[in-house]
Amino acid sequence: MQDYLEKLNPEQREAVEHITGPLMVIAGAGSGKTRVLTYRIIHLINNNVSPFSILALTFTNKAAKEMRNRIDSIVGKNISRDLWMGTFHSIFSRILRMEAHKLNYPTNFTIYDTDDAKSLIRSIIKELNLDKDIYKVSIIINRISALKNNFITHDQYSNHQELVQTDKIAKRTEFQRIYAMYSQRCLKASAMDFDDLLLNTYKLLNNFPDALLKYQSKFKYILIDEYQDTNHVQYLIIKKLAALHENICIVGDDAQSIYSFRGAKIQNILNFKSDYPDFKSYKLEQNYRSTNTIVETANSLIKHNENQIPKEVWTENEKGEKIILCKCGSDNDEGRLVANTIFEIKMQDQAYPKDFAILYRTNAQSRALEEALRKQNIPYKIYGGLSFYQRKEIKDILSYCRLTINPNDEEALKRVINYPGRGIGNTTMQKLLVTANENNISIWEVMNNLNNYKHNINNGTSKKLVEFVLLIRNYQAQLENKDAYFLAEHIAKSSGVFGDLYNDKSPEGVSRFENIQELLNGIKDFCENTEVNSLADYMKDVALLTNQDNEKQEDFNKVTLMTIHAAKGLEFPYVFVVGLEQNLFPSMMSGESQEDLEEERRLFYVAITRAEKRLFLSFATNRFKWGQYIDCEPSRFLSELNTQYISKTEIISKQKNKFYNNKKQVLKNKFEKKNNTFKLPPNLKKLSTVTKNIKHSDLSKIQNGMKVLHSKFGNGKILEISGDEANKKATIFFENVGQKQLLLKFAKLEII
């Protein structure tokens, strides 16, 4: 039973075997922190600690799932199922559903995602006839979120004159009114947004001493992953819950604190010793992920931060190849460079697309990379794009399900009441909304008792509203005796959504229909693999999922494109960090303070430490922004890297991609500025100047591996010859356009 302890290094083992009292584990990148957290939970259970009394908080569903699977394999599912383990939002929503009545919410409250919240804000701005250019939805929703995370409710807003003054200067004098209406409409709809899950948990523990004592007594041992990413509300909730027993274990890395923009406070981990003076601290400094070259490069960067907990990450892994740093002429050149390098590594190292990740500072950088990858026929997946659960057809079905569970859900009602078309238009909805607001009730209550209210809705439309109410009531009648799969399938078919999509035979329509089937498959899987299988249980589960929680099998073997923020916690054999330019990375906004600059440096540290075997860094001297090319300077962070681990180059080779084949080139020790211009590599010149007067070569002489010249595509290399003499085809990799298959008798190739 103690075999798991033998798998730990001395520092890991000490942290695992520490049972009572506050504990801080500083875990460097790739040092096995998940293993430590997992084995510590197992060790607690093996030392007669009830799993019911253990609370483990993570930031992602993926992390929680991985930990639970490891625990299952050692102590068994019968024991691990009793653990309170999950994300902050999932655990707190579970507590709130049990205590909802204390806060005037029903147990079946809806959780509004960002789209729902924005939709409601948009409606309120329209109702108040406000200028949408001044009252931008994204600004309003971010401001409300920030206020909630600092415990400033809509009725407390006016007490903070600096906030009032800021909004006055920005001409947002109606902000408080919007905030108040948003809060009231959420309450009326029995809905909480993600920030409410935290804020209301704090209110529960702060305002109801009996509830606080209940959960303090219950959670005798508390473990928190990625503690450096906690915000102020999370910090205060944890502090309250841990106050009785103080058996709190935090695991984190101050060097990977990168989420201040969403409220994370690095001070939470830096000040842990002040909160718990009797704490015990362990440092996990051995890296198991990366080569020595990558580890030392990361160390050389992060040492420039003043505000940090001192540590020296090291590894016993092989030295590894030098990090390639490349200067590119433009963002398009950079894209082609990355795509060509991936192609060559795949061919030479027999690597898979899933082994590669391309990381960037902002999502806007993906365009040039996508174009280059498509030309090379390299499959890729962008993270941070449209989540499976944010697709229209999925949200439509889930909105029907939400409405079935909570008919007061205003956003779900507005979404589906006229889809598929029922003749209930915007004018009718506006009349219902006005009536509901005048009587301080939900739209559903108005629809249920149309005859009791003045609404100016004609008899024909009233009949359609009654029919819709009866449809939803029919679904509600089956909530208790039908499982989630049966009811969801019934809703999809009887609502008309299924038929509407089935009849659309366009490629987009077929794709949407397949997505609905995929959703139903997921619901069926949920029913078969959980003890609770009602529609309400499924909706509680799905409300807190992210796009990474629903990866399809076909997405696994693709090159990953993502922001560095999204990449935290992940690892890949080959990593490309692109766009390393001033005002892009570090961001233009980071120059305002030392704290901001240090966070940008930590972000670069996170990017570097995602790599296992090879790391490629690149920047462009010109980048297309705001409709024009602008000159760029290399990032200041590049000069902070230890040069002994770096190979610097430009893309200057006509024959070979220097990013990968750096061993055959003369490396430059420093970058040369040439009047702020960059000379394009010969293989990227206009083809008209390169490919004149081509002599067509004898077909019989063409063989695999030969280099050829094409009048349109330029230089290429023969990868494969196939077919009989009359229809012989060649698969050719062209430096400019990627892989092509040409019929030789028409190809007009010259052997070079």
- The catalytic position among 11, 99, 226, 393 is 226
Among 562, 561, 483, smallest CA distance to 524 is for: 483
Q: What six digits make up the tokens of 211?
A: 């509830």
733: β partners: 717, 739
- The catalytic position among 172, 322, 512, 610 is 610
* Catalytic-residue membership of 167: no
Q: Where are the beta strands (DSSP E) in 225-277?
A: 248-252
- The catalytic position among 11, 12, 33, 228 is 33
CA 617 distance to own-chain centroid: 22
371 residue type, one letter: E
Contact 330, 620 (CB under 8 A): yes
Among 394, 387, 435, 438, smallest CA distance to 416 is for: 394
Classify residue 467 as exposed, middle or buried by CB count within 10 Å of its CB (0-12, 13-18, 19+): exposed
* Catalytic-residue membership of 33: yes
> How far, in Å, are 131, 153, 171 from residue 174 at the CA level?
11, 15, 8
* Catalytic-residue membership of 473: no
650: β partners: 327
Between CA 237 and CA 248 the distance in angstroms is: 13
Among 308, 312, 276, 307, smallest CA distance to 292 is for: 312
Contact 243, 60 (CB under 8 A): no
**748 — alpha (psi -120 to 50), left (phi > 0) or beta?**
left
Between CA 741 and CA 752 the distance in angstroms is: 19
* Cβ neighbours around 494 below 10 Å, total: 14
Contact 343, 378 (CB under 8 A): yes
714: β partners: 710
- The catalytic position among 34, 267, 582, 655 is 34
98 residue type, one letter: M
Alpha-helical (H) ranges within 22-60 are: 33-46
Among 483, 487, 512, smallest CA distance to 498 is for: 512
Contact 27, 284 (CB under 8 A): yes
Among 647, 559, 570, 555, smallest CA distance to 611 is for: 570
Q: Where are the beta strands (DSSP E) in 63-201?
A: 84-87, 110-112, 191-193
Sequence-distant (6+) residues with CB within 8 A of 174 are 128, 130, 135
Full DSSP string of 591-614:
GG-HHHHHHHHHHHHHHHTTEEEE
624: β partners: 629
* Cβ neighbours around 87 below 10 Å, total: 20
Indicate the DSSP class of residue 725: S
CA 447 distance to own-chain centroid: 39
The H or E element containing residue 200 is helix 194-207
Peptide bond connecting 277 to the previous residue in cis, omega within 30 degrees of 0: no
- The catalytic position among 11, 116, 225, 612 is 225
End-to-end C-alpha distance for the chain, whole angstroms:
67
Between CA 219 and CA 452 the distance in angstroms is: 49
Contact 197, 543 (CB under 8 A): no
* Catalytic-residue membership of 610: yes
Between CA 137 and CA 120 the distance in angstroms is: 10
Residue carrying structure tokens 């027999």: 350
Q: What six digits make up the tokens of 413?
A: 């009602």
Between CA 334 and CA 673 the distance in angstroms is: 18
Classify residue 637 as exposed, middle or buried by CB count within 10 Å of its CB (0-12, 13-18, 19+): buried
- DSSP-derived 3-state class of residue 112: strand
Between CA 741 and CA 730 the distance in angstroms is: 6
Catalytic positions, please? Answer: 33-34, 225-226, 256, 610
